[in-house]
Amino acid sequence: EAVRYCTNSACPAQLKRHIHHFVSRGGMDIEGLGEKLANRFVDLGMIRDLGDIYSLDWESITQLEGLGEVSVNNLRAAVESSKQRPLERLIFALGIPFVGERSSRFLADRFHSLDNLIAADADTIDSVPGIGSVQAQSVHDFLHKAENLTVIDKLRAAGVRMVDDDAGDGP
């Protein structure tokens, strides 16, 4: 079956889809940042990539119609608490093609930190039980694209957890 889709990562529709995945229950589980609100933030230019979720201007958000102080405070707390999600949830939330929740768990269990995963070559990733060569290449390619590394740097600067509690020194 032939499927057409936009490959432009700056496309607003692509960004909205990535945000919906990132904030989903299986991802970073940011309660209150549903589809409509996420779309609104993108349309208003408040979110230009996933990293912007953690640097939202809460004062400006409080001024938006339909958002009261309580709901904004709850959303802010949900964004803050999402920073402590396990590494496997972050890997899944990034939206790496061909990588689901189960594969994300395998990768987190093997590499213990996002930096170790970034440092691994495709063959090393492919050696993880449960990870195939297509997934391994996809992970490697995704984690070596400049725009994805920029987002990861923003997430790191915001304090998003990128290491397992029992992280070792390396793969």
Residue-level pLDDT, tens digit, the chain, 171 residues: 555 555 555 578 889 999 999 999 999 999 999 999 999 999 999 999 999 999 999 999 999 999 989 999 999 999 999 999 999 999 999 999 999 999 999 999 999 999 999 999 999 999 999 999 999 999 999 999 999 999 999 999 999 999 997 644 454
Angle at 25 between CA 22 and CA 30, to 5 degrees: 65
Q: What is the mean pLDDT of the chain?
A: 92
Q: Are 32 and 75 in contact (CB under 8 A)?
A: yes
Q: Are 53 and 23 in contact (CB under 8 A)?
A: yes
Phi, psi of 90 (to 5 degrees): -65, -45
Task: Report which DSSP code applies to 85.
Answer: S
Give the tens place of pLDDT for each residue, 88-131: 999 999 999 999 999 999 999 999 999 999 999 999 999 999 99
15 token code pair? 């960004």
Measured between alpha carbons, how far is 126 from 122 in angstroms, rounded to an integer?
6
119 token code pair? 């440092």
Residue type, 19: I
97 alpha-carbon distance from chain centroid: 12
Give the tens place of pLDDT for each residue, 81-90: 999 999 999 9
106 token code pair? 């395998």
1 token code pair? 């079956």
